[in-house]
Amino acid sequence: MPPRARRAAPVPTPARAPAQGTGSAGGAGAREVEWQLAAPDLDVVQRWLEQHTAADGLRIEPLPEQHLHDIYLDTEDWRVFRAGFALRVRARDGQVEATLKGLRSARRDVADRREISEPLPRGAAKERIKALARAAGPVGSRVRDVAGVKPLRILFEVQTSRQRFAARRRTSAAAVGEIALDEARFSRADGHRRPMVLTRVELEAAGPDQAALERLAQRLCAECGLRPPAENKFVVGLRSASLESPRLPDPDPEAEPVQPAIDPSTRTGDFAAAALRRLLDQWLALEPAARLGESAEALHALRTTGRRMDGVLELFGDCLPPALVKSRPRLKTLLDTL
């Protein structure tokens, strides 16, 4: 049966709901808009950018190189992932930042995802994770709501060398975006001593005017042999660590549940138990988004699943194990809370 509701983690108020915006960092309403391109040879791209300091109405200027250390985290039962996010803690230029990155893009032609960030104190990897557990900002509060009492574990780590270029308008110093040439080395958990290496070019927009940056991305594809990647960095990182995220469908709260197959030999108790197992799987898929507290639909879907579980216990109580039937009052209390 689903766990008892935690009084210490109430559903957040609507005031925390995200605002609309565009940008690569900052508060709860920020969005990351970037073109991600697989690059067989970063040197070719770097030479092209150095030779084309003026292209498509933009000035391209080199920026200092950066070295990034990323740690991706989740609970053992993938609560952050099932809530629709990847959780990253990044150390860069002496600063540490926790980020929740939306797993789904709002557009097919470009990665347009929600991004929520919060600064953390500097320290080693374990200290960063402890600092995240205590953080009171937009990332820390959401992670606690979603994870509950479940501890965070490290999924994988990435060390990235990043060559950067600023894309500015020719007529002003206004930044249109940033071009990053990344060589990312992923930690391995399958006995390989050599890390998995990924080379990517990313063009991240700095504001709502993205047409010039999009034209630049198309030109880089045509002249430098770049192409949209088959996998994003998060998927590559999971594969490098020999991890497989859960494959859960999007439940439709209004859809009627698919009934287990039965035949004349099916016992009533087996039918009821199969229905409860399927509903429990659906509950586990819906719970993280409901804990996040930002979607009325997710909360409604969780309530609907709970009511269906209660209906099975009521209709088939005489055919189910007594210990399972005795859990019904606990389920009804949880439904009242929801």
Instruction: Pick from 121-125, 219-223, 289-293 the range whose average pLDDT is largest.
Output: 219-223
145, 183, 205, 208, 289 from 112: Cα distances, Å: 25, 22, 10, 12, 20
Question: Which is more confident, 298 or 89?
Answer: 89
pLDDT band for position 314 (cuts 50, 70, 90): very high
How far apart CA 83 and CA 139 sit, in angstroms, is: 13
Sequence-separated (6 or more) residues with CB below 8 Å from residue 253: 297, 300, 301, 304
Structure tokens of 113? 């995802």
154, 243, 295, 296, 299 from 13: Cα distances, Å: 30, 34, 11, 11, 13
Question: What local confidence, expressed as pLDDT, does residue 258 receive?
Answer: 63
Predicted TM-score (pTM) of this structure: 0.80
Query: pLDDT tens across 246-281, in order?
Result: 875 554 555 566 666 777 888 999 999 999 999 998
Collapsing DSSP to helix, strand or coil, 120 comes out as strand
Query: pLDDT tens across 76-106, in order?
Result: 999 999 999 999 999 999 999 999 999 888 8
Query: pLDDT tens across 201-216, in order?
Result: 999 999 888 899 999 9
pLDDT averaged over every residue in the chain: 86
Return the half-sphere exposure (C-beta side, CA atoms, 13 A cut-off) of residue 313. 22
